[in-house]
Amino acid sequence: MDYKKYLNKLLTATVDGGASDLHINVGIKPHLRVDGELSPIQDEPEVDNDIANGIVEALFNQEQKEKFHNERELDFSFAHESGARFRINVYLERGHTSLAARLIPAKIMSIDELEMPPIFHDFAKMAQGFILVVGPAGHGKSTTLAAIIDEINETRNEHIITIEDPVEYLFTPKKGVISQREVNTDTADFHRALKSVLRQDPDVVMIGEMRDMESISIAMTAAETGHLVLSTLHTNSAAQTIDRIIDIFPPEKQSQAAAQLAATIIAVVSKRLIPKIGGGRVPAFEILLINSAVRNLIRERKTHQIDLVIETNLKSGMLSLNRSLAQLVKDKKVTLENAELHSLNPNELKLLIDKI
């Protein structure tokens, strides 16, 4: 088998089939994820070790081969001949080589095209502070950040630096300058890139993912010193995000971390992509805007009160996830069953649906 041609065939099927992800695992057929659901590519054979290893060999350069051999997993980006780009993770599963490829759309969709609330346009106008987009994997965090960054790119004469592992969306400079740095390609590691970013004269810094105490600390310092910083976390809600950031610091530094976070953070957005009636997916959001009340709750570690603050500040642009889901149900965009599956409080959701 010509594994390079076979890989090309599978990636073409991913693009043409409107899939977000391709999965290759030994013992089963290749699978595509379409609208959040996985299904096998029926016309393809089950993957064996030769196919899995051959596909990966066709992807890797020599440096990547050595790195995968040493570390047993590897993240990188790959440009398909169609022009589509993929974020690829190769890993071992029970000793077998496996692969997950995430399609990165060639077009960066705008805030309006992504059906994001109008408050997101305000985020693109912010000059300083810390904005976090959170939620489960595969629910559009990177796409949301890309929309905000591209609006900044279109409207501001500024220097935008992204630090990613790997680089996902490719931006074309419009009004300002964009520097996209990929870990292991443009910089030795994530921490080194973060440490040097403030010496590169940025106005806006986008960090692909907050990974540990050091990256969070540097991000807050950047926001504190006059920069707009945007990043993501794998958390489920705004309140959980605040707790996660503070709890990552040792106990003796948590009070200081809480104070610094309260001073720098300006918004936390939690996003879900819900299966849409008739096909596709539609976004639901939780939006926490940081006002003086929220800053006090962060400093005092009373994050359990954040949900109440959101619900009582709807007119300012805040939004609870349940209210967002309830509206989608009332508008007949999603089923009640799917809304309940993505709600953190289904009983409250039902009450809201009855009230709207």
Mean pLDDT of the chain: 95
Can you tell me whether residue 167 is helix, strand or coil? coil
Residue 274 above 90 pLDDT? Answer: yes
Residue 285 lies in domain:
119-319
User: What pLDDT does residue 193 have?
Assistant: 92
| CATH code: domain of residue 79 | 3.30.450.90
User: What pLDDT does residue 189 have?
Assistant: 85
What is the band of 65 on the pLDDT scale with cuts at 50, 70, 90? very high
Residue 179 above 80 pLDDT? Answer: yes
Vertex 294: Cα angle to 132 and 123 (nearest 5): 35
Rounded Cα distance between 271 and 346, Å, is 17
Q: Is 89 exposed, middle or buried (0-12, 13-18, 19+ CB in 10 A)?
A: middle
Vertex 51: Cα angle to 50 and 56 (nearest 5): 100
The answer to whether residues 173 and 255 belong to one domain is yes
Please tell me the pTM assigned to this model. Answer: 0.89
Q: What is the pLDDT of residues 309-330, one digit of tens each?
A: 999 999 999 999 999 999 999 9
The domain total for the chain is: 2
Q: What is the pLDDT of residues 108-164, one digit of tens each?
A: 999 999 999 999 999 999 999 999 999 998 899 999 999 999 999 999 999 999 999
The answer to whether residues 278 and 140 belong to one domain is yes
| CATH code: domain of residue 148 | 3.40.50.300
The answer to whether residues 66 and 123 belong to one domain is no
Residue 133, domain member (yes or no): yes
Domain end marker among 73, 104, 135: 104
90, 99 Cβ separation under 8 angstroms: yes
Q: Which residue has the tokens 């995968």?
A: 68
Residue 327, domain member (yes or no): no
User: Which residue type does 170 have?
Assistant: L
Structure letter (DSSP) for residue 274: E
210, 216 Cβ separation under 8 angstroms: yes
Give the DSSP H/E element, type plus range, for residue 73: strand 73-79
User: What pLDDT does residue 138 have?
Assistant: 87
Rounded Cα distance between 114 and 148, Å, is 11
User: Which residue type does 92 have?
Assistant: L
